[in-house]
Chain A
Amino acid sequence: QSGLTQPASVSGSPGQSITISCTGIINDVGTYNLISWYQQFPGKAPQVVIYELTERPSGISNRFSGSKSGNTASLTISGLRTEDEADYYCSSYTDRSNFVVFGGGTKLTVL
């Protein structure tokens, strides 16, 4: 089962905005808005920060936003803070297996 493609790392300075891409195919990202983003700190379980492409769970800062163009979804974090430094994973429903597929993860460094 092929996964989604994310950059291995991105970086930014406090106050800046960064975008993490997540590329799939027509069977997942390209057709469905069932795209989620997870934040994971070292040694901790992931936490969802975006679901259904653009929705934020209660308690998640509005600095986190999601979007999509074609087969590529994106997570944007604006007003970058040092506490945003973490690994970020995208996921999408795929109709190839009626299941969920994850991206390989992106390490965000806040310089």
Chain B
Amino acid sequence: QVQLQQWGAGLLKPSETLSLTCAVYGGSFNGYYWGWIRQPPGKGLECIGETNTNGDTNYNPSLKSRVIISVDTSKSQFSLRLSSLTAADTAMYYCARVVLTSHYFDVWGKGTTVTVSS
């Protein structure tokens, strides 16, 4: 059974860069797309972007200028970097496996709380 374990810094200052990593255990890593989703406190979900194991990426147009999603197939891990942070980036960040043909997320990490505050 596939499990995702994620980690990264939880408290950042405005203008800093968020860096999160997600490791995949218990299943195949290659051949899938892997994505990041965030949820501001008390609000809805927002897709940030996704990558496949070849490094092909697709980003939310509203975040594209600040986002980089990368993949390390040797470690079965993928990572998110989001730059030029503001308070509006405060959210729970989830990593997830993407079923690309159907465009949904079938396995989720537990989430990482990221707070942007001076």
Q: Do A and B bind each other?
A: yes
Residues on A facing B (Cβ under 8 Å): 1, 3, 34, 36, 38, 45-48, 51-52, 55, 57, 89, 91-93, 97-105
Which of A36, A45, A47 is the one whose CB lies under 8 Å from B110?
A45
Which of B45, B46, B108 is the one whose CB lies under 8 Å from A47?
B108
- Can you list 20 A-B contacts (CB < 8 A)? A3-B44, A34-B103, A34-B104, A36-B105, A45-B94, A45-B109, A45-B110, A46-B94, A48-B105, A48-B106, A51-B102, A51-B104, A52-B104, A55-B102, A92-B103, A93-B103, A99-B58, A100-B47, A105-B43, A105-B45
Q: Using Cβ atoms and an 8 Å threshold, which residues of chain B touch A45? A: 94, 108-111
Q: How many residues from B make CB contacts under 8 Å with A?
A: 20
Q: Using Cβ atoms and an 8 Å threshold, which residues of chain B touch A1? A: 60-62
Tell me, yes or no, whether B9 is within 8 Å of chain A by CB: no
Q: Using Cβ atoms and an 8 Å threshold, which residues of chain A touch B104? A: 34, 36, 48, 51-52, 91, 100
Does A99 lie within 8 Å of B108, measured CB to CB? no
Residues on B facing A (Cβ under 8 Å): 43-47, 58, 60-62, 94, 99, 102-106, 108-111
- Expressed in whole angstroms, the minimum distance between the Cβ of A20 and any Cβ of chain B is 13
Q: Using Cβ atoms and an 8 Å threshold, which residues of chain A touch B46? A: 102
In the complex with contacts A51-B102, A91-B104, A102-B111 CB distance below 8 A: no
- Expressed in whole angstroms, the minimum distance between the Cβ of B95 and any Cβ of chain A is 10
- Expressed in whole angstroms, the minimum distance between the Cβ of B22 and any Cβ of chain A is 12
Which of B61, B62, B106 is the one whose CB lies under 8 Å from A57?
B106
Q: Using Cβ atoms and an 8 Å threshold, which residues of chain A touch B61? A: 1, 97, 99
- Expressed in whole angstroms, the minimum distance between the Cβ of B7 and any Cβ of chain A is 15
* Docked CA distance A1–B61 (Å): 7
Q: Using Cβ atoms and an 8 Å threshold, which residues of chain A touch B60? A: 1, 97, 99
Does B47 lie within 8 Å of A38, measured CB to CB? no
- The residue in chain A whose Cβ has the minimal distance to the Cβ of B49 is A99
- Expressed in whole angstroms, the minimum distance between the Cβ of A93 and any Cβ of chain B is 4
